[in-house]
Amino acid sequence: MSSRSDHDVVVVGAGVAGAATAIHLAARGHRTVLIHRAGGADGIESIAPAAVDELSGLGLQLDGPGVALTAWWGTNEPRTIYEPRARLVSRLDLARRLRELAASLGTEMIEDVRHASVSRAGGAFDVMTSGGGTDHQLVVRSVVDATGRAASVARRLGAQRYQADELFSAVVDVVTAADGVWTEATSPGWWSLCGLAGRGTLAFHGNLAEVRAAATDLGARVRETRLGAQVEDLIGAVVVRASGSELCLPSAGPGWVAVGDAAMSVQPLASAGNAKALRDAARVFEAFNRPAAFSARQNGEFHRYLDTLARQYREGGRRRTA
């Protein structure tokens, strides 16, 4: 067991939101520890132009061409738009590159953590981790919850998760010939495919019963869709993931902040989760200084997002929940 109190901030969770937050903290001279649990679901995801700019500001350039987005969404003919400034990435690869950048700025990493727990200790926080060969105990003034949808730190500190809808996704790696994003509204559920350099992420989205049924024969079902023409073969197992709209209230409090999916999770249809994770990371100082204003801003963004999502589903001739 190593016992330490010489850091300012612990960031729990080292996905896109946690790693980017650590970069902002370390760049401003805060002694930061980033707690990383290895593994997690990978996938090819689209990165919106604003997020590409945000990454570039952090010193991380995303190379490659723009993204062609093709949709059968309330239409029989495909609609294609080309977004020259968007990019496609592997989410785990993006998080790894951000962690490397954070480490180069002096962030200390605790790797291969199996379990992390946070509790209040007077005006500070007690953080215990196990796994990776050594257990750690850290006493710090501030904690960032970047644990994704689990939001385990925020919940431990008394926050509640508010579920605005229920959506699940059956996700699988595929072989695909072309690069781009395809979306198709079907009945039941809807489909998405992100392809990059021969590999892709295929997902069917719906309520839990629809998704469980689809997961048993995803390969056969995708052949019945129009985007199925892009899928050559499925690789590996189908994984079912929660993917609905959720808000953490509050999303910050004295000495703690939730960022990325831990603060607010958006449906894959929005293609906005990574941009949001990067935006929260950039606002971490504002959040520590004015937690109530940060929570109010998340709440406002969440309701604007729900309005946009409802419009998108109407255009596809679908209900918001699948």
Ligand X SMILES: Cc1cc2nc3c(=O)[nH]c(=O)nc-3n(C[C@H](O)[C@H](O)[C@H](O)COP(=O)(O)OP(=O)(O)OC[C@H]3O[C@@H](n4cnc5c(N)ncnc54)[C@H](O)[C@@H]3O)c2cc1C
Q: Which residues contribute to the site for ligand X (CB under 6 A)? A: 12-18, 35, 37, 40, 43, 45-46, 91, 113, 116, 146-148, 150, 152, 169, 171, 194, 203, 241, 243, 260-262, 268, 271-275, 277
DSSP secondary structure of 191-210: EEEEEETTEEEEEEEE-HHH
- Considering the complex, state which of residue 40 and residue 255 has its C-beta at the smaller distance from ligand X: 40
Instruction: Give the C-alpha separation, 293 to 285, whole Å.
Output: 12
* Closest separation in Å from C-beta 259 to ligand X: 7
The minimum distance between CB 286 and ligand X, in angstroms, equals 18
- Cβ proximity to ligand X, 253 vs 264, nearer residue: 264
CB of 171 to ligand X, least distance (A): 5
Angle between helix axes 49-58 and 273-282 (nearest 10 degrees) is 40
* Nearer to ligand X among residue 39 and residue 76 (C-beta): 39
In a 13 Å sphere around the CA of 6, the CA atoms on its Cβ side amount to 5
Which residue lies nearer to ligand X by CB, 72 or 144? 144
Q: Tokens representing 243?
A: 């993917």
Residue 202 vs 291, nearer CB to ligand X: 202
DSSP β-bridge partners for residue 143: 10, 256
User: With contact defined as beta carbons under 8 Å apart, do 104 and 125 qualify?
Assistant: no
Q: How many CB atoms are located within 10 Å of the residue 84 CB?
A: 9
For residue 250, whether the previous peptide bond is cis, meaning omega lies within 30 degrees of 0, is: yes
| Least distance in angstroms from the C-beta of 267 to ligand X | 8
Please report how close the Cβ of residue 253 comes to ligand X at its closest, in angstroms.
18
